[in-house]
């Protein structure tokens, strides 16, 4: 994969990029209160590929929503240090989070979440447009390069419905990289793909971490992936089982 011409900053310098401090999330439902996250603290450094493994209902998606700022936490703090000074994202307004997220953090979901009415390349230029990072001409150029990176530039002008699930997930990854964020967050990105396709997608993530220095936080229920992360955390009932337990680093 050639990233030479593409401006993707190698952000790997080992310092702490994401830090969660005693994050608690409580949902109130008709049936009563439900604690989804019970005091989670963790750190992710630049260039790490962090895997969070847990069963469904363990709180892993909620944890991810805390990092992306999609959901509000009940207590605690999430600090993201993308450009020198840590930002406490839950102190920002909904709108500021959206803009911040667009520039700092790419999100990939199990169900792709592409806009069906836009072509592949438009889906990727959309975040650039919304965050005003690149002008329209640059945007298309950059989008095509990103598509090349995930190896589906041939489908650039197709609609999402015209390509397979694995291809859609590649587009979603390219979109997550649109504004060149240092962090990628993925929620079961291979969950709805067959094993061969899932392997391809995982390789793309590994390439992003290994060759481009991106930081990736991925949640999954797939135990077999554990050895392939640079660090694996296990979550159950809203708590981390082995907080900060270092596992073998691939590189």
Partner 1 sequence: MSTTHARLRVDLSQQAMSTPDAMIDMHGVVKTFRSSAGEFTALKGVDLTIERGQFVSIVGKSGSGKSTLLNMITGIDHPTQGRVVIGGTDIYTGVTESQRSRWRGRNLGIVFQFFQLLPMLTLLENVMLSMDFAEMYDFDERPERALEMLRLVGLEKFANKLPVLVSTGQQQLAAIARAMACDPPLLVADEPTGNLDSRSANTIVDLFEELSRRGKTVVMVTHDPSFTSRTTRNITIADGLLVADGNHKS
Partner 2 sequence: MKPRWRKVIHDLLDNKGRTLLVVLSIAVGVFSIGVIAGAYQIIGTDLRASYSAVKPANIELRMAKNFDDDLLEMIRNRDGVADAEARRAFNIRVRTPGTEKWITLDMYVFDDFEENSINLLIPIEGQTIPEKREILLEQDVLDHIDTGVGRSLEFQLADGSTKIMPVVGIVQDIGGSAGDFLASPTSYVTKDTLPYLGQPELFNRAVVTVSERGDDIAHIRDMGAMLKDKVEKNDNLVVRMRFAETHKHPLADTIKAVLGILLAIGVLVVFLSSSLIANTLSALLNQHLRYIGVIKLVGGQRRQVFLMYLTLIMAFGVLALLIAVPLGGQGAYALASFAADKLHFNVLGYRIVPAAFIIQILVGLLVPLIAGLAPVRSGSRITVLHALSGGIADEEKQAKAGKERLPWFDWVQVKATRLLAKRGVHIPRPFVISLRNTFRRKSRLMLTLFTLTMGGAIFIAVFNVRVTLHDFMGVIENYFVADVTVDFDKPYRLDKVQQDVLKMDGVQHVEGWQFASAEMLDDNKHMIQNISLLAPPTDSRLVDPMMVSGRWLRVDDVRSLAISEGVLKYYPNLEPGDSLNLKIDGREEVWQVVGIFKFMDREGILGYAPFEYIAEINGLVNRSASYRVVTDRHDRHYQDAKAEELDKYLRDRGYQVRLAEAGRASLDKALESLDILVTLLLIMAVLTAIVGSMGLTGTMGMNVLERTREIGIMRAIGADDRAVMRTVIAEGVFVGMISFGLAIILSIPFTYVLASIVSQAVFQSPIPIIFTYMGYAIWLGMVLALSALASILPARNAARLTIREVLAYE
Binding site for partner 2 (CB under 8 A): 27, 29-31, 34, 36, 56-57, 59, 61-62, 64-65, 68, 70-71, 94-95, 98-99, 101-103, 107, 109-111, 113-115, 117-118, 122-123, 125-127, 129-131, 136, 139, 175-176, 178-179, 187, 192
Question: Given the complex with partner 1, which of 167 and 232 has the nearer CB atom?
Answer: 167
CB atoms within 10 A of CB 249: 10
**Which residues make beta-bridge pairs with 219?**
52, 187
The HSE-up count of residue 42 (CA atoms within 13 Å, CB side) is: 28
Helix (H, G, I), strand (E, B) or coil at 195: helix
**The two three-digit tokens of residue 28, written as one number:** 């109130």
Binding of residue 111 to partner 1 (CB under 8 A) = no
- Measured between its terminal Cα atoms, the distance across the chain in Å is 18
What's phi and psi for 80, nearest 5 deg? -125, 125
Binding of residue 161 to partner 1 (CB under 8 A) = yes
Mark out the alpha helices in the chain (DSSP H runs): 60-68, 94-104, 120-131, 136-149, 165-176, 195-212
The interface partner of residue 11, options being partner 2, partner 1, none and the CB cut-off 5 to 8 Å by kind, is none
The interface partner of residue 163, options being partner 2, partner 1, none and the CB cut-off 5 to 8 Å by kind, is partner 1
Interface pattern 25-44 for partner 1 (x via CB under 8 A):
--------------------
Is the alpha carbon torsion for 229, 232, 235, 240 positive or negative? Answer: negative
The one segment of 36-44, 190-198, 221-229, 240-248 that binds partner 1 by CB under 8 A = 190-198
Binding of residue 162 to partner 1 (CB under 8 A) = yes
Element (H, E) at 153: none
Least distance in angstroms from the C-beta of 121 to partner 2: 9
Least distance in angstroms from the C-beta of 184 to partner 1: 25
Binding of residue 147 to partner 1 (CB under 8 A) = no
Question: Given the complex with partner 2, which of 90 and 228 has the nearer CB atom?
Answer: 90
CB 113 within 8 A of CB 168: no
Residue 203 CA, chain-centre distance (Å), reads 15
Least distance in angstroms from the C-beta of 24 to partner 2: 14
Residues forming contacts to partner 1 in the complex (CB under 8 A) are 158, 161-164, 167, 192, 194-195
């Amino acid at each position: 994969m050639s990233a030479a011409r593409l401006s993707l900053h190698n952000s790997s310098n080992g310092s702490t990029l994401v830090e969660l401090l005693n994050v608690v999330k409580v949902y109130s439902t008709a049936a009563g209160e439900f604690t989804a996250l019970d005091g989670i603290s963790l750190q992710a450094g630049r260039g790490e590929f962090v895997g969070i493994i847990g069963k469904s209902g363990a709180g892993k998606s909620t944890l991810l929503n805390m990092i992306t700022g999609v959901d509000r936490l009940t207590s605690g703090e999430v600090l993201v240090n993308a450009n020198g000074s840590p930002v406490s994202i839950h102190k920002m307004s909904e709108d500021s989070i959206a803009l911040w997220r667009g520039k700092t953090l790419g999100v990939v979901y199990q169900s792709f979440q592409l806009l069906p009415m836009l072509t592949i390349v438009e889906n990727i230029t959309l975040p650039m447009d919304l965050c005003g990072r690149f002008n329209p001409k640059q945007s298309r150029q950059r989008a095509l390069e990103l598509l090349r990176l995930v190896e589906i530039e041939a489908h650039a002008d197709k609609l999402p419905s015209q390509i397979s699930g694995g291809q859609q997930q590649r587009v979603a990854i390219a979109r997550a990289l649109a504004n060149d964020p240092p962090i990628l967050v993925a929620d079961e990105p291979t969950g709805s793909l067959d094993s061969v396709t899932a392997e391809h997608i995982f390789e793309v993530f590994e390439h992003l971490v290994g060759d481009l220095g991106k930081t990736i936080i991925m949640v999954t229920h797939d135990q077999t992936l554990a050895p392939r992360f640079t660090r694996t955390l296990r979550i159950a009932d809203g708590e981390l089982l082995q907080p900060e337990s270092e596992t073998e680093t691939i590189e």
